[in-house]
Amino acid sequence: MDKRLFVAIKINPSEAFLQRIYLLKENLKVDNINWIREDHYHITLKFLGKTTAEIIPQIMEKLRDIASNMGSFPISVDKLGLFGSKYHPRVIWLAIQDSGHITRLHYQLQSQLKSLGFSPQAGSFIPHLSIARIRKIEDKSYFHQVMAKFENGTIQAQNIEKVLLYESILSSKGAEYQVLGEFPLAEGMR
């Protein structure tokens, strides 16, 4: 049976992080926005999509090799951003500052998984943490005022020590994520 897979880095939100998101939610509660659960926060490195069970051990071997050749590294989660246009925003996200480590991981995954039949991602890779999907905004002017108020400032710093292979299980209640494998990064930055 096929599984819907992706490779990601888990974000463990601090109390300050959660408080800031709570305040943002409170300010935008009149809008129809689906907020991502805090236990689902992650930075997607590569979406694999429908994957046959037979190939999962080979994916895990590639992930193990990539992780063992890259050291752990610090990141900071900061500035709010939007995907979509100013007039029709679709996703609220937070930027990730990491000195290029996440981008390097992404491109190594692109390269290594290509041999297993996974196509490289089209377009630019932007390391980010999605926090909400927008369905409808009642007052766009107010929405953008709120976004500007919350836009800047580091929300959290975190050291990244592993990469995870997730299965995304879709249901009427939304997506549930199951960790299929954890791949520790080598000690310290390389």
The domain segmentation of the chain, as residue ranges, is 3-184
Element at 125 (helix H, strand E): none
Please give the residue that has the higher pLDDT: either 164 or 1: 164
Task: State how far the Cα of 146 lies from the Cα of 150, in Å rounded to an integer.
Answer: 6
| Residue 132 exposed, middle or buried by CB count within 10 Å (0-12, 13-18, 19+) | buried
Q: Is the dihedral of CA 11, 151, 126, 26 positive or negative?
A: positive
> Domain 3-184: which topology?
Cyclic Phosphodiesterase; Chain: A, (3.90.1140)
Ranges of beta strands (E only) in the chain are 3-10, 32-35, 42-51, 73-84, 89-97, 128-136, 156-160, 162-171, 174-184
pLDDT of 190 reads 44
pLDDT band, very low/low/confident/very high, at 174 (cuts 50, 70, 90): confident
pLDDT of 111 reads 93
pLDDT of 123 reads 82
Rg (CA), the chain: 17
pTM (predicted TM-score)? 0.91
Among candidate residues 76, 69, 13, 67, the one with its CA nearest the CA of residue 45 = 67
CB-CB contact of 185 with 71 (8 Å): yes
pLDDT of 113 reads 95
pLDDT, tens digit (0-9, with 9 covering 90-100), for 29-79: 999 999 999 999 999 999 999 999 999 999 999 999 999 999 999 999 988
The least confident of 61-65, 78-82, 86-90, 153-157 is 153-157
pLDDT, tens digit (0-9, with 9 covering 90-100), for 118-130: 988 888 899 999 9
pLDDT band, very low/low/confident/very high, at 188 (cuts 50, 70, 90): low
CB-CB contact of 112 with 58 (8 Å): no
Percent of the chain whose pLDDT exceeds 70:
98
Amino acid residing at 60:
M
Phi, psi of 26, rounded to the nearest 5 degrees: -60, -40
Among candidate residues 124, 157, 165, the one with its CA nearest the CA of residue 9 = 165
Q: Token pair of 66, please?
A: 């990539």
Helix and strand counts by DSSP (H, E) for the chain: 4, 9
